[in-house]
Structure 1
Amino acid sequence: MHYLNTVLAFIGHHPALAYGVVFLVSLSESLAIVGLIVPGTVIMFGVGAVVATGHLALKPVLLLAAAGAIAGDGISYWLGRHYHDDLRRMWPFSRYPGMLRMGAAFFKRHGGKSVLFGRFVGPVRPVIPVVAGMLGMRPLQFVIVNVLSAVGWALAYVLPGVFFGTSLAVAGAVSTRLAVLVFILLASIWGFVWFIRKLAALIEHRGPIWIAELHAWTKKSSSAHRLARPLKDALSIIFLRQQSEALFFLFLVLTLFVAGWGFLGVLQDVLARDPLVMADQAVYNYFQALRTPWADRVFVTVTELGDSFVNLCLAGAVLLVLLGKRCYRTAGFWAATLMGGLLGVQLLKWMIHLPRPVAIYQGASAYGFPSGHATMSVILYGFLAILLARKLPGVWRWGLFASVIVISFVIGLSRLYLGAHWLSDILGGLFIGTSWAALLGIAYLHGSADILPRRWLGLVVVLTIGLAGSWHVAQRHAKDLVFYAPRHKVQFISMAGWRSDGWRNLPAWRIDMAGEREQPLTLQWHGPADRLAADLSKKGWRHSPPLSVVSFLGLFSPDTPIENLLSLPRLHDGRAERLHLIYTTQDRRLVLRLWPSDVALTGDDLPVFVGTIAEQRHQQVADLITIVRDSGEYDRSLDEVAQTLGDGFDVRRVHRTNHEIQAENELHRLHWHGDVLLISEKGQKRTNP
């Protein structure tokens, strides 16, 4: 966040330089060959996101992006028209002759429209204007198509960035933590899918060569090192008996080696209390800071789908299909794989005795290493993928394994998020589960193959997960939301202690992602939140309008009254608001929010809530979207609320010291001198601290 603020501040102080960069990037992205190196589309998307912050104006950005694209294509066209075929002998075209051939084929197929289409087609984008000039496209025709395509390109890549940046601002208003969690989840899934695709492509391309080299190595009669001889014998047994499945064997052998090495590394760190274990606490705290009620429901559902009940139902259903189709060898391996995984997990838990972050289970399950959910998800779905992938085409085979990675990753992530396991538990479970599934897969593929009913197995898997999973989630979801709820320790103090100096122990700032301070908490309320809401509603305050189609469409109208604009909820330290009220005055509005704290007062055991009172005003984002932003005037809004609460409440104004507020005020440009309102109902007894 500090780096982002620095970048935005730099852009705000040097807007001319930023606009110049927009022009140069779009020009470079359109130049022949250079456009292959410059990631112009990505940069334009990022520029659009900066536009959403208000540091750059949308119209100049669009004009400069289009102008740069027009100039870049124009220069490329001139090069092609001036040098013609001589370009083929000039660097860099002489080094990459295939680019011109591909561009020429594209141009001949689409004619003048290729300049328009080529603007959005990555491989031919930087050479189409050159080819158009070389092949004699008329200048006037090129200029018309060039201008139209450049304008379309600017709109197509800048505007999505604007909407993305706005959505991040809106998501950050709800919860930056939630936005970051979703981003981490999607980016991780994308990364895993990308990795498995690249790995599959590498194995498909280089695998036969590796197989041939290993085959030749095993046939060499020269004396081998005593450590290499067993490996040579093992490869001779595995690969030479199954030439048709040699590539699949190689993949499983490599998987076994990598996963086994990974598990031993994690186990060493766990036993020696090395840096991975020290990172466990940091990762646990980070994920607990990401907790939100909405995400809790999602990840509790995910973890329930990975529970032993669903796994046993799926294992039993697959076993029945295999026995019914007389695939006895496959059924035996299936049962041995799952039973070995279950026993191995319990044995490792009992031997290593690594406690979980929170004591929520009994017996051997009270220990966390390795994670049973992560281990069994890899074993169950991984070995099932091995069964189904045998003799399948490469695309389907690698798709199955990519699905296993995604499923296991999401289930493991749910355990991290819910605080049921340490990071080392999850990594250990994923590695040992992968090792066991790969080992049994190698043994299974070594023998004769049963004719598996793939369609029956696929149908049974989908139906079992759908039926057993739905029933299990319906039965357990409400209980598990309580079971996995974040655990907060409540501190009890007296009323007098709170009012004298205990209020200072409560947070001074609303905490968002990674502990960043976002807004000052200028209000502390002792009592039921509904009691305060009932009194304020009599004085013109109202609950925030719910999200609806009408309120959403209001974001796109500059004439939407400020009282009708969405006031999205925000989180403090991972906790949802308990109260969210709005008071509108002319062209601005006050927004009061309360969050529960970990402090309660002795005597009545009622909690103390912390809150903020923010002033909000209209703001136009790139002349497209109307939102509200905090003005930063916290002193003025605090004075107004103090006057409103004068009757019926005991209001005391206290003051935080300058060192608590000065640095953050300068960072966020706030007007707050440290005043905090302590509010309680009149007549409450004050006991001695």
Structure 2
Amino acid sequence: MEALFQQVLAWVAAHPTWANLILFLAALAESLAIVGIIVPGVLIMLAAGALIAAGALDLRHAWIAATLGAIIGDGLSYGLGRLLKDRVRDLWPFARHPESLARGERFFARYGTKSVVFGRFVGPIRAVVPLIAGMMGMGARPFLVANVLSAIAWAPAYLLPGIVFGASLTLAAEAATRLVILALILIALLWLAGWATRRLFALLSPHASSWVSHLLRWADLHPSMGKVARALADPAHPDAATLAGLAGLLILAAFLFGLTISITLIGPATLIVNQAVLNLGLSLHSPPADTLMVGLNRLGDPLVLLVLVAVVFLYLRWRRHRRHANYWLAAAGFALVAAPALGWLLQIPRPVAGLIELTRWSFPGSQVLGATLVYGFLAIAVARGLTPAWRWTPYVLAALIVTAVALARLYFGAEWLSDVVGSIALGLAWVAVLGLAFRRHSRFDQRWPGLVGVATLALTVGFTARTLTNHGDDLARYSPAPEPVAIAASAWRDGGWRELPHQRVDLWQHNRHPLDIQYAGPPDELAERLAPLGWHSAEPLTWRNAVRLLSPTLPLTELPVIPHIHDGHHEVLVLAKDEPGNGRRLVLRLWPTRYRLDGQAPIRVGNVTTQHKEVLVGFVALPITDDDSLPAEHRLSAELQELAETGAPLPILILPPPSGDGTPQPR
């Protein structure tokens, strides 16, 4: 994929006129009525933005090409509308789908001339608003003004996401591809969860009353089996005993289901999809990602949920909603019963050994189950007080939080994918049972802002307190150190060095920067010994100095060094040596390993690379590592030899290039 991207960059750089022509045609087609529904113009605009970030396209020329295409496309649509008038309704696809045209007409009737400006940024009606403007007899002059002004703003608005994405790819290649991929996965899955929840709500909500009526009629026809149904759907029927019985039956059903799956498949570890998701999650680890995912995981932390449940319960009792408070406790308390009971019965081990959790078992996941129960029932309670147009909002927010917790559990390998899905299903089933009974039996006032405010405050306080007191412990708990491997000093020098990694472990293994340094001494000692030879501690990129990257006039020596990640860890030592004569600088990096020299001194691996400054889109300066950096033996051999003559030898090996032969010479 990378090779294909490089080929595209080379072609665009060699044929910028053709590339801008393609961009012009894409913007034109995307703006045309009917054609714009089919042509993926937005995707082409995003791709053009990525090419701009890579330096293959000029921003000004691309902006002009996209703007002209959008102006002409909307102009042609406007002219078609003025020509055909009401005969537009007979065209495909409006003849078969008149609602799309009707939606655009309502939009135009509401906003008038401004609809041409607003409509350009609204996806579903973008391609039909100019057509409707012509059909409705809008004047040519006001349309032209609105068309030109909106196109000038539209082009950079659609190019900018691609520019940001392209710049992130460049940054990812320099720092950590896995962090960018994780961010894309999170955004995509959270968006999918929110979209699916809203669509499901829109699909089910119109039929809820009808289904309850059918349930009551069925209960009348089946007196014995209908007791459960009537307890849920009949407001006049007491339901406490029935709900308790349903909880027991639900636990038993989950146990039988889990037992059957475990026996049939000999455990979840045999599922290919489980192993694939586990491997993907573990391969995406990096220090920034660990911090982010620990935060998402904390949304389902038992102590955070306990604070939320307790505060909301006290608020409901204070407001004298005793029945509602009891339902709230029933929702949250189910996790206290189901998680240990089913865990003890099924005893499905966690994917990653060594994680310290409340229970040893993967199913049901106490945090995923607890989050589903607490946030799910809270959404039901809040939604009741909202107008129908906004009733989907709390369900979407709950789905986003539960999905975030689930993704964090998968990232850390705390549960199998099948167990996460099962925990969510178990929680949703109980929330659905309680929610139906609550909606039918409990009278709750419409003053939902108080409940939302109290719940938000409780969640914020619990989350913040847990972060301030346990963040470091949580990071250590979910990133257990691997078992150390001891190696004798003589064995290490005589060939044991081959056991250590020779390439950076990342999702894109370019094999460009081999790990050709192995060092078994204190990092500070190496820095001190190299300081007289021009090496100095490099300033790493942080949130505080990141603003320097927005100063393209700064020399390379003043730009911070972007940290590199190897096997999920940042460097333990980063040294730099400036070469102002050729606009380059040398960077020496060392990463930790699990190997210990004589069982005590840690062995670090590293390399020496060269960097140059690269300016993206005229305002972002990045220190980029050269692909053709010389091996460390060419960079450090003479300097290490000089150190050996002036002081004690260092416990360091400089390895030969991958294509060479021979053994490394200790320096």
Question: Mapping of 1:381-392 within 5 angstroms?
Answer: 381-390=375-384, 392=386
2:7 aligned residue: 9
Which whole-Å CA distance do the structure 2 matches of 1:202 and 1:147 have between them? 40
Stretches of structure 1 lacking an aligned partner (at least 5 in a row): 222-228, 244-255, 659-672, 681-689
Rounded to whole Å, the distance in 2 between the matches of 1:536 and 1:620 is 31
Q: Which residue of 2 aligns with 1:642?
A: 637
Question: 2:355 touches 2:414 (CA, 8 Å); kept in 1?
Answer: no
What does the per-residue CA deviation read over 1:635-664, in whole Å, with 9 as the maximum and x for residues that have no partner? 266512322332224565443554xxxxxx
Say which is worse superposed, 314-323 or 397-406, in terms of deviation.
Answer: 314-323
Q: For residues 568 and 199 of structure 1, do their structure 2 counterparts lie closer, same or farther at Cα, with a shift above 3 Å needed?
A: same
Q: Which residue of 2 aligns with 1:655?
A: 656
1:397-476 pair list within 5 angstroms: 397-447=391-441, 449=443, 457-476=451-470
Per the alignment, in what secondary structure is the counterpart of residue 629 of structure 1?
Answer: strand
CA distance in 2, matches of 1:145, 1:489: 66
CA distance in 1, matches of 2:593, 2:68: 54
SS in 2 for 1:195: helix
CA distance in 2 between counterparts of 1:675 and 1:60 reads: 54
Contact 1:22-1:64 within 8 A present in 2 as well: yes
Contact 1:615 1:637 in 2 (8 A): no
Alignment partners' CA distance in 2, 1:257 and 1:33: 55
Q: CA RMSD in A?
A: 4.1
Residue deviations 1:325-373, cap 9 Å, x none? 5544444444444444312211111111222234557898223321111
1:668 alignment partner in structure 2 = none
Secondary structure, aligned partner of 1:406: helix
Match of 2:605 among 602, 605, 610: 610
Matched residues in 2 for 1:367 and 1:109: separation? 57
Q: Following the alignment from structure 1 to structure 2, what is the Cα–Cα distance between the partners of residues 5 and 360?
A: 39
In the TM superposition, what whole-angstrom CA distance separates every residue of 1:231-288 from its partner, at most 9, and x where no partner exists?
Answer: 9947973787469xxxxxxxxxxxx999999997666434433695334444333323
Q: Does 1:120 align with 2:121?
A: yes
Q: Check conservation: 1:490, 1:599, Cα contact below 8 A.
A: yes
1:10 CA drift (Å): 4.0
Contact persistence 1:540–1:583 (CA under 8 A) = yes
Q: Normalized against structure 1, the TM-score is what?
A: 0.80
Unaligned runs of 5+ in 2: 237-247, 644-648
Q: 2:400 aligned with 1:394, yes or no?
A: no
Say whether the 8 Å CA contact 1:415–1:421 is kept in structure 2.
Answer: yes
Instruction: Give the equivalent residue in structure 1 for 2:37.
Output: 36
Match of 1:599 among 595, 599, 608: 595
Which residues in structure 2 correspond to 1:312-331 (within 5 Å)?
312-331=306-325
CA separation of 1:388/1:56 partners in 2, compared to 1, >3 Å: closer, same or farther? closer
Q: Which residue of 1 aligns with 2:76?
A: 75
For these two proteins, the number of residue pairs brought into alignment is: 643
CA distance in 2, matches of 1:414, 1:211: 37
Contact 1:260 1:431 in 2 (8 A): no
Instruction: Give the equivalent residue in structure 2 for 1:632.
Output: 627
Counterpart in the other structure of 1:199: 200
The structure-2 alpha-carbon separation of the partners of 1:483 and 1:121, relative to structure 1 and needing over 3 Å to count, comes to: closer
Tell me which moved more, 162-171 or 368-377. Answer: 162-171
Structure 1 residues 269 and 18 mapped into 2: Cα distance closer, same or farther (>3 Å)?
farther
User: Is the 8 Å Cα contact of residues 526 and 606 (structure 1) preserved in structure 2?
Assistant: yes
Matching residue within 459, 465, 471 for 1:477? 471
Q: Relative to 1, partners in 2 of residues 1:477 and 1:237: Cα closer, same or farther, differing over 3 Å? A: same
1:73-116 per-residue CA deviation (whole Å, 9 max, x = no partner) reads 34334434555555454545555566666666766776666554
Of stretches 135-144 and 441-450 in structure 1, the one that deviates more from structure 2 is: 135-144
Is 2:161 aligned against 1:166? no
**Offset, 1:165:** 1.7
Q: Which of 549, 560, 563 is the aligned partner of 2:557? A: 563
Deviation readout 1:104-137 (Å, 9 max, x if unpaired): 6766776666554443343443234445555666
For the 8 Å contact 1:510–1:520, the answer to whether it is kept is yes
Q: Which amino acid aligns with 1:125?
A: R
The alpha carbon displacement at 1:596 in A equals: 0.6
Q: Residue 284 of structure 1 contacts residue 419 of structure 1 at CA under 8 Å; is this kept in 2?
A: yes
CA pair 332-676 structure 1, distance change in 2 beyond 3 A = farther
* The one of 254, 272, 277 aligned to 2:269: 277
Structure 1 CA distance, aligned partners of 2:552 and 2:320? Answer: 69
Separation in 2, partners of 1:398, 1:447: 21
| Contact 1:524/1:679, CA 8 A, preserved across alignment | no
Moved more, 479-488 or 86-95: 86-95
Letter in 1 for 2:590: L
Check conservation: 1:48, 1:159, Cα contact below 8 A: yes
Retained in 2: the 8 A contact 1:327–1:451? no
Percent identity of equivalent pairs: 35
Give the distance between the partners of 2:490 and 2:289, measured in 1 at CA.
38
How far does residue 215 in structure 1 lie from its aligned partner after superposition?
Answer: 7.2
Does structure 1 conserve the Cα–Cα contact (< 8 Å) formed by 2:540 and 2:563? no
Structure 1, residues 37-82: CA drift from partner, whole Å, max 9, x if none? 3332343123202322234443443333233323323433443455
What is the CA–CA distance in structure 1 between the aligned matches of 2:249 and 2:91, rounded to whole Å?
A: 48
- 342-351 or 437-446, which deviates more: 437-446
More moved, 16-25 vs 571-580: 16-25
CA distance in 2: counterparts of 1:119 and 1:550, whole angstroms: 38
1:551–1:460 Cα change, 3 Å:
closer
Q: Is the 8 A contact 1:495 1:601 kept in 2?
A: yes
User: What does 1:154-553 align with in structure 2 at a 5 Å threshold?
Assistant: 154-205=155-206, 207=208, 214=214, 218=218, 233=226, 237=230, 241=234, 268-273=260-265, 276-278=268-270, 279-304=273-298, 306-360=300-354, 365-390=359-384, 392-395=386-389, 397-447=391-441, 449=443, 457-513=451-507, 519-547=513-541, 552-553=546-547
Offset of residue 189 of structure 1: 1.9
Is 1:325–1:453's contact at 8 Å kept on the other side of the alignment?
no
The answer to whether the 8 A contact 1:262-1:431 is kept is: no
Q: Confirm or deny that 1:574 pairs with 2:568.
A: yes
C-alpha deviations, 1:279-328, integer Å up to 9, x for none? Answer: 44443333233223333344434445533333334434444444455544
Q: Deviation at 1:571?
A: 0.6
Please state whether the residue corresponding to 1:590 is helix, strand or coil. strand
SS of residue paired to 2:482: coil
Contact 2:380 2:435 in 1 (8 A): yes
Stretch deviating more after TM superposition (402-411 or 366-375): 402-411
Bigger mean CA offset, 184-193 vs 4-13: 4-13
The structure-2 alpha-carbon separation of the partners of 1:502 and 1:556, relative to structure 1 and needing over 3 Å to count, comes to: same
Contact kept? 2:355, 2:480, Cα under 8 Å:
no
TM superposition score normalised by structure 2: 0.82
Q: State the SS of the aligned residue for 2:33.
A: coil
